[in-house]
Amino acid sequence: MGKSTYLDFLGLAMRAGKLTLGEESIVKDIQNRRAKLVLVAKDTGKQTKKKLMDKCSYYHIPIFEVDDRQTISQAIGKSGRVAIAVVDVGFAKKMQSLLDETNRG
């Protein structure tokens, strides 16, 4: 097996029930600090992206702009997803370190 990517862990987290989907639910999870990491597709609409970025910034929750919606939707087996919140510390830390690596490299 090649190098693990955050997408591999996204699929695992989905199966483990550790993700929140849907803008409203994600915003709620950010506000009550259940979200440990938020991922936003790079082709998300400007307003949605800004809203999530602002919320994460205010509540000090890491947010990453990742691949396009098709890529992240495929990883979790749901269509048309533009944002995902990870509500498990372990998964969030692992994905964040993989994303940090990717963004550095």
pLDDT in tens, the chain (105 residues): 467 899 999 999 999 999 999 999 999 999 999 999 999 999 999 999 999 999 999 999 999 999 999 999 999 999 999 999 999 999 999 999 999 887 775
> What pLDDT sits at residue 105?
58
Residue 46 lies in a domain: yes
Which element (helix H / strand E) includes 8?
helix 6-15
Q: Which residues contact 21 (CB under 8 A, 6 or more apart)?
A: 76, 78, 81, 83, 84, 85
Residue 92 lies in a domain: yes
Instruction: List the CATH number of the domain containing 43.
Output: 3.30.1330.30
Between CA 61 and CA 57 the distance in angstroms is 6
Distance of CA 42 to the CA centre of its chain: 11
Domain membership of residue 65 as a residue range = 6-104
β-bridge mates for residue 63, sequence order = 38
Residue 1 lies in a domain: no
Check the CA dihedral 61-64-69-72 and report its sign: negative
Task: Supply the DSSP symbol for 58.
Answer: H
Burial of 93 (0-12, 13-18, 19+ CB in 10 A): middle
Residue 90 lies in a domain: yes
Total domains in the chain come to 1
> What pLDDT sits at residue 69?
96
